[in-house]
Amino acid sequence: MSRKIFVILLVLLLALTFALVGCGNDANQSSNEQNYDSENTKIVNGIKMDKEQYLNFAIAEPKSLDSTKTSSNTSWYPQTPIFEGLTRVQGTPEGIDKIEPGVAESWEVSEDGLVYTFHLRKNAKWSDGKPVTAYDFEYAWKRLLDPNTASPYQWFLKPLIKGAADFAEGKGSADDVGITAVDNYTFRVELVAPCPYFMQLTYYPVLKPIRKDIAEKYGDKYGTEADTIVCNGPYVLTEWVHRGKMVWEKNPYYWDKEHVYIEKITNTVIEDTNAYLQALYKGDIDSGGTSKKEWRERLEKTGKFNFIERVGADCDYIMFNANDRYFKNAKIRKAFSAAFDRVKLSNDVNNGRTIPAEEYIPSTFVIGNENYVQKVGGNKFVKKLQEDVKDPKALLIEGLKELGEDPDPAKMEVSFLFRGNDEWTKKCAEWFKQAFDSTLGIDLKLELLKWNIAFNKVDNGEFQMYYGGWFGDFNDPATMLEYWHSKEGYYKIGWSNEEFDSLIDEARSLADNDRRAEIYKRCEEILVYEDAIIAPINHSLTTIYRRKYIKNMYNPLFGYNDYKGVYTLGRE
């Protein structure tokens, strides 16, 4: 959902927008420092900065901070500054993600690529002063796999680690899983087969350490309140007012606290779009994004923002429930996918600030050291489907007849589920209703629910069509495809394709990137064109306005910012 995404809906995710985008060049990051009043500045590690170091952002209410029970950006963003994994990911001015040591100060990989050994730093501590140990990682990773946890991200490790699949399916023991604390400061992971992207997983939110004594003390309440967790990241969660705000303060026990400059970060939950943009304009929050032309113009006229833009490693899509009376039929799914104009949607709803999806996997991904889309010679399977389906309504009627349903589309009972009920979501939903009603001759029902309620309905399979999406967890096409595996993937929507599953299984054990690229292109074709279990809509074009006084803030494309090294200079 990038993870993981779930997914991300950039223009909808209001508050999280600034956290999910990557680096842009901060043109004023180091200029004109001599103009700032010395009475209001200080020098730390040779860096001039404001005496008072704080940031204000907006967020969506997270479901939980328990890393083993979360599956969306709304929870992963606030987890990142307060929990540190074996490694951390750092954005750069060049826009390239860099993996840096986190709790692990070093690591080595066996010659056959099957065993990773991590050496933990002895000065890494929890926010109560106790040491972070390899046992905290062993407990957390096995907890993710434990069938009793019912983690939505169990699939993340299940096919990769020795003994993980049997344990996750209740057929094996935790002792047989290749996740081992050799001693307090040595952590070993044994893989089933070499995994070319494994190190990119080590910083991800679902693989952060968990203190067993704290998790067992609070049980189901672990991660649901500020006082039910201990933290080991650059920051500590000191306040959590549900549907109000979350406050992080600098962690005095963090091993590298000398390079954590922001003392306090306040995250306010703002659900109304206009209130959110007013807060950004007035300076109540320091960074945010919008696709609205009038607001972009207002923000740019102030001269107080740096503008950051880039294409996201994501895809928004319509997901069909293959258990549904209608959408178990591929022709009906194809009819819906071919029935709407992606370019018109982008212009009408998003002011042209999204990339219409002619494919599922966007051009931001690499495989090995090569651009994936270029390597496979193009992957425009959405475009191919729309070119082939000349009359979506006629194809819909064919599908209805195959099912023995009334062939009159007007008599179909179809509901489209959206996450959120804000202004943008309403506009988007109404656009789809008009498009589907006019093209297919149906009477589409709309269901707009709050994020957590919508997520629960999807998890329970209580939907027909769902506006979802996925933001890549790591920079490899596997992150966009593996979660559709019918047995080991994230979604359980009644769809299963034997060829797709076998290809994903094969790719996991391959080091040959040429063959992996062939496999992933074929999987895309099955997913989008042949079976059409999803209808790709668009890729995000991230547009962020960040106050110019925020310095050294380069968000990674894959992962989230922990705000280490960020500071302000010139706040009025």
Residues sharing a CB contact under 8 Å with residue 395, sequence separation 6 or more, in sequence order = 331, 332, 334, 335, 338, 389
Position 20 scores a pLDDT of 39
Look-up: residue for tokens 């496999």?
Answer: 519
Nearest CA to 15 among 356, 225, 279? 279
Sign of CA dihedral 318, 323, 328, 332: negative
Q: Read off the amino acid at residue 490.
A: Y
What secondary structure letter does DSSP report for 364? T
Full set of structural domains in the chain with CATH: 62-233 (3.90.76.10), 314-542 (3.10.105.10)
Dihedral of the alpha carbons of 558, 562, 568, 572, in degrees to the nearest 10: 90
Crossing angle of the two packed helices 330-338 and 392-403, in degrees rounded to 10: 160
Token pair belonging to 70: 């979360």
Per-residue pLDDT of the chain (572 residues), as tens digits, is: 443 333 333 333 333 433 333 334 443 444 445 566 778 999 999 999 999 999 999 998 998 999 999 988 889 999 999 999 999 999 988 888 999 999 999 999 999 999 999 999 999 999 999 999 999 999 999 999 999 999 999 999 999 999 999 999 999 999 999 999 999 999 999 999 999 899 999 999 999 999 999 999 999 999 999 999 999 999 999 999 999 999 999 999 999 999 999 999 999 999 888 999 999 999 999 999 987 889 999 999 999 999 988 888 999 999 999 999 999 999 999 999 999 999 999 999 998 989 999 999 999 999 988 999 999 999 999 999 999 999 999 999 999 999 999 999 999 999 999 998 888 999 999 999 999 999 999 999 999 998 889 988 998 999 999 999 999 989 999 999 999 999 877 777 999 999 999 999 999 888 899 999 999 999 999 999 999 999 999 999 888 999 999 999 999 989 899 999 999 999 98
Helix (H) or strand (E) segment spanning residue 409: none
Q: Which residues have a Cβ under 8 Å from the Cβ of 572 and sit 6 or more positions away?
A: none
pLDDT at 13: 39
Identity (one letter) of the amino acid at 129?
Answer: G
CA-to-CA distance for 444 and 411, rounded, in angstroms?
10
How far out from the chain centre does Cα 265 lie?
A: 21
Distance CA(312)–CA(80), nearest Å, equals 19
Distance CA(225)–CA(531), nearest Å, equals 43
The whole-number pLDDT of residue 72 equals 84
Residue 10 to residues 21, 254, 539, Cα–Cα distance (Å): 9, 32, 9
Residue with the two structure tokens 């498009």:
435
Q: Which two tokens stand for residue 186?
A: 């040595």
Q: Is the CB of residue 23 less than 8 Å from the CB of residue 95?
A: yes
Asked if residues 81 and 265 have their Cβ atoms less than 8 Å apart, the reply is: yes
Q: Is 297 exposed, middle or buried (0-12, 13-18, 19+ CB in 10 A)?
A: exposed
User: Strands (DSSP E) along 209-346, which ranges?
Assistant: 235-241, 245-250, 264-269, 287-289, 305-311, 314-320
Write down the H helix ranges in 406-470: 423-440, 451-459
Q: Is 454 exposed, middle or buried (0-12, 13-18, 19+ CB in 10 A)?
A: buried
Q: How far apart are CA 513 and CA 515, in angstroms?
A: 5
Secondary structure class of 275 (helix, strand, coil): helix
Query: Rounded to whole angstroms, how far apart are CA atoms 513 and 536?
Result: 25
In eight-state DSSP terms, residue 196 is T
What CA–CA distance (Å, rounded) separates 46 from 513? 44
Cα separations (Å) of 298 from 10, 96, 169, 311, 440? 20, 31, 54, 23, 40
Please, are residues 530 and 536 in contact by the beta-carbon 8 Å criterion? no
Supply the DSSP symbol for 5: B
Helices 423-440 and 392-403 sit at what angle, rounded to 10 degrees? 80
The backbone torsions φ and ψ at residue 370, rounded to the nearest 5 degrees and listed phi first, read -115, 150
Give counts: helices (H), strands (E), the chain: 18, 24
Write down the pTM of the prediction.
0.81
Q: Residue 179 is encoded by which pair of tokens?
A: 């996740």
Bridge partners of 534, per DSSP, are: 319
pLDDT score of 523: 98
Nearest to 197, CA basis, from 1, 470, 476? 476
Structure-token match 């991660």, residue found: 223
